[in-house]
Each structure stands twice: as structure tokens, then as C-alpha cells.
Amino acid sequence: MAASHHRLDLEDVGDVTVAAFIDKKILDESNIQVIGNQMFSLVEDDGRRKIVLDFGNVEYLSSAALGKLIVMDKKVKAANGQLRMCAVRPDIYEVFRITKLNKLFTIFDTRDLALEGF
């Protein structure tokens, strides 16, 4: 599989890891699988505890992608870490709002705001 094909752009800012989704559309099942594994690896393999997921590029995502975000949130919390999200477009935020995931996730308008006080 194309597991080595990175779907996240990583940047370390102090002790915080910013992971930006590369894809505009997070729809395809195999792609979602790869993205999920790369996200989980940040916590499980790299031991990162403060993670910001940057949605700046993301125009579409499906419920399968939401599933991965929920699992990621659980994994980070289980590791006593913190997960923040940022730069979510209004349409995508609407998806979070409808599914009430805006109550589960910590979402900031911009990357800078997400990093502030993290």
C-alpha cells in the first residue's frame, strides 16, 4: 500500500506538532485509511502529545473521515495529550456542527490562535 505516501505536512512549533492535511478532498476510503494511520502514528509511534490539525486545504470530507478524527481525538486523550483543530472552512465546520463534533473537538479559527497558550 501507499502508506509511505504522506498525506500530512508536519511542522514542529516548540513542543507542538502542527499537522496540515494536504488533500482538498478527504473522501476516498484508502486515502482516509492512510491519513488515519499517519495521524495515529504521531501519538502512538512518535509520542507526540500536543497536536494541531490544520484543515486549511480541506474542502470536502466524509463521515468516514470524521470517524478517523474521532478515533484520533480518543487516542490523544488516552495518552494525556491535547488535540486542537484549526482553519476549518465554514462548510466543514457545518459538518462538525451538524454531527455535534464541535462539542467534542477543540476548534480554533487560525493556526496562530490554536498555538496560542498551547
Q: Does 71 bind other proteins (CB under 8 A)?
A: yes
Q: Does 22 bind other proteins (CB under 8 A)?
A: no
CB of 70 to other proteins, least distance (A): 5
CB of 64 to other proteins, least distance (A): 7
Which of 47, 42, 35, 45 lies closest to 18, judged by CA?
42
Q: Does 10 bind other proteins (CB under 8 A)?
A: no
**The only residue of 40, 60, 93, 118 in contact with other proteins, by rule CB under 8 A:** 60
CB of 32 to other proteins, least distance (A): 10
If the CB atoms of residues 10 and 62 are measured against other proteins, the closer one turns out to be 62
